[in-house]
Copies of this chain bind each other. A is one copy, B any other.
Amino acid sequence: MGAASEEPTAVDGKRRQRAAATKEQLLVAAREVFEERGYQAATVGAITKLANTAHGTFYLYFKNKEDVFGEIITEVVRELYERSLGPFVSLPPEGGVNRTPDAIRALLTVFAEHRGLWRALLEAVLQSATIEQRWLDLRRTFTDRIMIRLGELEAAGTARPLDAEVVAHALVAMVEWFAFAGCVFEEPDPATIGIDRSTAVLADIWTRAISL
């Protein structure tokens, strides 16, 4: 109506910043709440309280609990990918050195760094179809990439002929669930086993599974 709406720059910039900051606060708080309480026990109230925000503010930035969790988990899985599988698959298949242990160690490390969050993830996946879908999509990044890799290795003569799809799923299942079980159920207790033994065994099985 007035001239106000025509010059958005100055004020708008500040607003946008403030908004981003608020969202960030909420995100950080949410992460902490999910880590501590898990998915289903986490409440919007707890998040806004920790974020020093009004309850209603939450709904300015997220549709609901599902929604925040989706953002958080996307972020974490991205980290997981970038630190474990990513570096691994970017190498040429013929590489003389076996990088599997590195990838597995990295994965176990990332899991260990966010214990509570993985439990929450498991819960959330089972509680919300939306999150389940999102997670399965992210997860497929891993299995698909590994499937491709297995094909490459096979073609390069480094691996024996395999039922790539099933093998990929089986190996991912092994590593993933071993990691989950460790940080969610402490079974086997990671503190007792130590990352070295775990890495060694998992990488060994992995390698034997595909090698000639």
Chain B residues lying within 8 Å of A201, measured Cβ to Cβ, are: 163, 166-167, 170
Contact of A197 among B139, B140, B166, B184 (CB under 8 A): B166
Closest to A4 in B: B54
Q: How many residues of chain A have a CB within 8 Å of chain B?
A: 50
**Is B166 a contact of A52 with CB atoms below 8 Å?**
no
**Is A181 a contact of B173 with CB atoms below 8 Å?**
yes
Question: Interface of chain A, helix or strand or loop or mixed?
Answer: helix
Please state the number of chain copies in the assembly.
4
Contact residues of A between 169 and 187, Cβ < 8 Å to B = 169-171, 173-174, 176-178, 180-181, 184-185, 187
Closest to A166 in B: B201
Cβ distance A202 to chain B, nearest Cβ, rounded Å: 6
What are the 8 tightest A-B residue pairs by CB atom distance, in nearest-first order? A177-B177, A174-B174, A173-B177, A166-B201, A173-B178, A2-B52, A205-B209, A208-B208
Q: A residues near B, CB below 8 A?
A: 1-4, 18, 22, 38, 40, 51-54, 119, 122-123, 125-127, 132, 136, 139-140, 163, 165-167, 169-171, 173-174, 176-178, 180-181, 184-185, 187-188, 193, 197-198, 200-202, 204-205, 208-209
